[in-house]
Structure 1
């Protein structure tokens, strides 16, 4: 994914529609005389990418991004950036089948601010997620290296440069998430170990004891049932014997 073209209308020094085509996929340099608007082209790209620190684009509020702050009859600033996304492996999520995507941001003097993706209105959060899905985060402190920071970057040590590149590429956030996930996993594992210990020392012995008590109860219950049956047999036998004795006694009296 790379920029193909930038179109500015009413943005900073660009009062009328100005198209800047012919961007190269890998490296570009904007040259020109002082005051010709070179920096404003970079500012316009950052504007579309959703920059929140307006000091980076030399403004204190959004209205200052409108040509002459709306005092010359131009009351809105519009910037469109056309991205080449013909490589589906580097396309934003949901746009894999599109050869290009146009993201537009417009502000109106008075505070209105809107985003448009391929001609359709979009929430700022959707645009933010679109760029984040391809590791573009203009609000990352290392995304832009302005003139005053070049010497500082050149003097960085290798670990500092690596850290800066990780943040600029958007991989640092995954490292942070990975560390958080590992800590959570460690806590979960500690809980699992605690449960295993509880199982071994308390629950399993208690279950074994209950099994033995159940077995003893079943033996007692079976023995008690057998005793009840034997008692009934004895009562029945005694009853039959008593009936026989009674019948014999009655017969003897008749004789």
Structure 2
């Protein structure tokens, strides 16, 4: 498994927010314990034999940024990421938790939070319930997604490239490649917001036209009633 360098190899300038640490608690094959993965800037390579848990690290990143599709994190259900115990007597854990610790020390702040590190956590329980935390305070999944979008991290983006996707890239059409680059660059998200804003604007114009017609009808009725009053 390779975690891509989080700095521009040509210009030497950072282009993405850096992941300082990844903390896993009771997550999948890592057992009923808490482990911390420290990530230095540059290229990080995680190697090991099959079945040692390399892919579980990318699953953990997908999980903590709000992924809801259990198949994406290679599990039958979301609660399936919780350590399920062993035949040797290790008990099933009551929950699993992953914390993504992002570097926010650069000025101006890449994430508009007044701390040098931003802790984003997700916890899932045996009944499938999830809770999200930002620097220890509970927030909604939508707020997590909006916070991560500021630093170009997206659930359906290409921050994590899963097994088999490289082959898919090679067979893409030119239009699909263009759409892919627009998504990676964040243009697609702005296009979606623009389309939504245009729809809201058109809805507002329609409501304004209806209100104008009703106002004109009311004014005509008022004039008619005033005339009838005078005639009476």
Q: TM-score scaled to structure 2, two decimals? A: 0.69
For the aligned residue pairs, the C-alpha RMSD in angstroms reads 2.8
Aligned residue for 2:182?
A: 166
Per-residue CA distance 1:224-247 (angstroms, 9 max, x = gap): xxxxxxxxxxxxxxxxxxxxxxxx
Q: Secondary structure at the match of 1:13?
A: helix
Q: Which residue of 1 aligns with 2:95?
A: 76
C-alpha change, 1:172 and 1:72, in structure 2 (3 Å) is same
Gaps of 5+ in 2: 1-16, 206-232
Cα deviation for residue 159 of structure 1 reads 4.2
1:135 — aligned with what? 152
1:7 is paired with a residue of what secondary structure?
strand
Residue 118 (structure 1) aligned to one of 135, 144, 165? 135
Could you list the per-position Cα deviations for residues 63-107 of structure 1 after superposition, in whole angstroms to 9, with x for gaps in the alignment?
101001798231111111111111244622x31x32111111111
> Does 2:47 match 1:28?
no
| Residue of structure 1 equivalent to 2:36 | 19
1:60 is aligned to 76
Q: Distance in 2 between matches of 1:157 and 1:69?
A: 45
1:197 matched residue in structure 2: none
Count how many residue pairs are aligned between Structure 1 and Structure 2. 185
SS of the residue 2:127 aligns to: coil
Moved over 4 A (4+): 179-189
**Which residue of the partner structure matches residue 105 of structure 1?**
122
What secondary structure sits across from 1:147 in the alignment? coil
1:50 equivalenced with 2:66 (yes/no): yes
Greater helix share, structure number: 1
- Counterpart of 1:204 in structure 2 is none
Once the two structures are overlaid, the 10-residue window that deviates more, 105-114 or 40-49, is 105-114
Q: Distance in 2 between matches of 1:76 and 1:172?
A: 35
Which of 92, 104, 110 is residue 85 of structure 1 equivalent to? 104
TM-score by length of 1: 0.63
